Amino acid sequence: TLSDRLSGIFTKLRGKGKLSDADIDATAREIRLALLEADVALPVVKAFIFKVKERARTAEVSKALNPAQQIIKIVHEELIAILGGEARRLEFAKTPPTVIMLAGLQGAGKTTLAGKLAKWLKEQGHQPLLVACDLQRPNAVGQLQVLGGRAGVEVYAPEPGSGVGDPVRVARDSIEHARRQMRDIVIVDTAGRLGIDQEMMQQAADIRDAVRPDETLFVIDAMIGQDAVSTAEAFRDGVGITGVVLSKLDGDARGGAALSVREVTGQPIMFASTGEKLEDFDVFHPDRMASRILDMGDMLTLIEQAERAFDEDQKERMAAKLMGGESFTLEDFLEQLVAVRRMGPIANVLGMLPGMGQMKDQLNDVDDKHFDKVAAIIRSMTPAERTTPKIINASRRVRIANGSGTTVTDVNQLLNRFTEAQKMMKQMSGMMGLPGMGGGRG
């Protein structure tokens, strides 16, 4: 397995400080195999590995992880980014009904998905209508009616024996019906073939033109493997796709098809179907899929643990630093200002400090009013701004100035001097042991 292969590399790399090109190449080779074994299409794998190598070369050396772990982490993150980069919710039409059309090969799981989607939307307070436009497969209509019954959702279908065998007409009429019945969502189930087929694709395109869907969801069996690319391309070009649904994720497929389909269609994977029951359905989780494709659950857990342990370590050192007065946020600064003000006129306080001679220029600026102004400015900041002053952009500066009855120049001055003030406060805390100085923030 991949884990076995990688553990070999791991042993070799243990204790190495940084990623050499050879390390990157060796680990990338193994990851490449893992992706191919997970049925990710070759061109997709190539492009992906290229990107990962690039990032690995410029990655900062991590103290928590060894080189192989570091690359795996990059791969995992990149997978998540690609799988979920543009994750989004269903688009609802401005004027109901919202029309959702399902497309895909026969057996992909469209009809099952139609039932799941209807149930899910109904639970969210919508009034969906299911539409049976697969008039090809025997009993396809009956299958949808059973699912609709279970979901408690009306199914629009031609009357048996009515002679209406035209799925395009059924689709068109269903929209009228939905309007009359005040349904806000119409889910159109369509026919599929076992392979890509011109006639089927044309029918799907005709249904699309008849109902003008707000969403066209391409349903694809996660077990499809290497055929994922050509199938996705055919539906992308034949009907157009606005979103992807992966079905049969309960199977043992590693789900590499997900990555290929995402790349080929450029459309987000929106839902996952994980069984035959109506409840076996969820919005798509890129992180779960990334872990599944990599198939390195244990290793990813290990990486997470290593990083968390390192984080704790870092946090402790940060706290120690704060105790020493080296790192102040504006919040801390405000606290100190208030404490200093309580001691009396500021010039006197500062004047008592040894070594203040070097800070003469600053001392000249410092008077009580100035300190009060600074306090007012900081009080007009949000907590986030106080801890992370770099987010304070031009418009925030204006707001803060207005809020504190000062000018933008005052705010700018404060921010510019904050660094200098940090140094000053450090000296004061060191020399005078002011109350509240040791506050272990962070």
Which residues make up the interface to ligand GDP (CB under 6 A)? 104, 106-112, 192, 247-248, 250, 273-276, 280
Is 368 labeled as ligand-binding?
Answer: no
Task: Choose between 76 and 119: whose C-beta lies nearer to ligand GDP.
Answer: 119
**Residue 115 backbone dihedrals phi, psi, to 5 degrees:** -65, -45
Least Å distance, CB 193 to ligand GDP, is 10
* CB distance 107 to 247 below 8 Å: no
Q: Tell me if 190 is assigned to a ligand binding site.
A: yes
String of b and e for 133-143 (b: at least 16 CB within 10 Å)? bbbbeeebbeb
- Nearer to Mg ion by Cβ, of 134 and 215: the residue is 134
267 is in an annotated binding site: no
Integer Cα distance of 117 and 148 in angstroms: 10
- Does 190 engage in binding with Mg ion (CB under 5 A)? no
Tokens of 13: 């790399």
Binding partner of residue 240 among ligand GDP, Mg ion, none, CB cut-off 5 to 8 Å per kind: none
The answer to whether 142 is a known ligand-binding residue is no
Q: Binding to Mg ion (CB under 5 A): which residues in 225-284? A: none
Smaller CB distance to ligand GDP: residue 247 or 260? 247
HEC readout, the chain: CHHHHHHHHHHHHCCCCCCCHHHHHHHHHHHHHHHHHCCCCHHHHHHHHHHHHHHHHHCCCCCCCCHHHHHHHHHHHHHHHHHHCCCCCCCCCCCCCEEEEEECCCCCCHHHHHHHHHHHHHHCCCCEEEEECCCCCCCHHHHHHHHHHHHCCCEECCCCCCCCCCHHHHHHHHHHHHHHCCCCEEEEECCCCCCCCHHHHHHHHHHHHHHCCCEEEEEEEHHHHHHHHHHHHHHHHHCCCCEEEEECCCCCCCCHHHHHHHHHHCCCEEEEECCCCCCCEEECCHHHHHHHHHCCHHHHHHHHHHHHHHHHHHHHHHHHHHHCCCCCCHHHHHHHHHHHHCCCCHHHHHHCCCCHHHHHHHHHHCCHHHHHHHHHHHHCCCHHHHHCHHHCCHHHHHHHHHHHCCCHHHHHHHHHHHHHHHHHHHHHHHHHCCCCCCCCCC
Which partner from the list Mg ion, ligand GDP, none does 106 bind, CB cut-off 5 to 8 Å by kind? ligand GDP
Query: Binding site annotation covers 367?
Result: no
Q: Which does 275 bind (CB under 5 to 8 A by kind): Mg ion, ligand GDP, none?
A: ligand GDP
Considering beta carbons, is residue 275 or 438 the nearer one to ligand GDP? 275
Q: Which is nearer to Mg ion, 110 or 254 (CB)?
A: 110
Shortest reach from residue 140's CB to Mg ion, in Å: 5
Calpha distance 272→248 (Å, rounded)? 8
Q: Of Mg ion, ligand GDP, none, which one does residue 67 interact with (CB within 5 to 8 Å by kind)?
A: none
Minimum Å distance from CB 130 to Mg ion?
Answer: 12
Smallest gap from residue 143 Cβ to Mg ion (A): 7
Q: Is 107 annotated as a binding residue?
A: yes
CB of 157 to ligand GDP, least distance (A): 14
Q: Which does 23 bind (CB under 5 to 8 A by kind): Mg ion, ligand GDP, none?
A: none
Single residue of 98, 111, 174, 406 touching Mg ion by CB under 5 A: 111
Dihedral sign computed on CA atoms, order 115, 121, 122, 123: positive
Q: Which does 203 bind (CB under 5 to 8 A by kind): ligand GDP, Mg ion, none?
A: none
329 is in an annotated binding site: no
CB of 252 to Mg ion, least distance (A): 23
- State yes or no: 216 annotated in a binding site: no
Binding partner at 108 among Mg ion, ligand GDP, none, C-beta below 5 to 8 Å by kind: ligand GDP
Q: How far is the CB of 280 from ligand GDP (least distance, A)?
A: 6
66 binds, among Mg ion, ligand GDP, none (CB under 5 to 8 A by kind): none
Give the span between the Cα atoms of 317 and 123, in whole angstroms. 49
Does 114 belong to an annotated binding site?
no
Q: Which range touches Mg ion (CB under 5 A), out of 127-135, 239-247, 299-307, 324-332?
A: 127-135
* Residue 265, annotated as binding a ligand: no
Does the annotation flag 234 for ligand binding?
Answer: no
Which one of Mg ion, ligand GDP, none is in contact with 254 (Cβ closer than 5 to 8 A by kind)?
none
**Residue 189 marked as a ligand binder:** yes
Pick 11 or 202: Cβ nearer ligand GDP: 202
CB of 315: closest distance to ligand GDP in angstroms? 43
Q: Which of 378, 382, 387 is CA-nearest to residue 413?
A: 378
Which residue positions form the known binding site for GTP? 104-111, 189-193, 247-250
Which residue positions form the known binding site? 104-111, 189-193, 247-250
Q: Which residues of this chain interact with Mg ion, rule CB under 5 A?
A: 110-111, 134
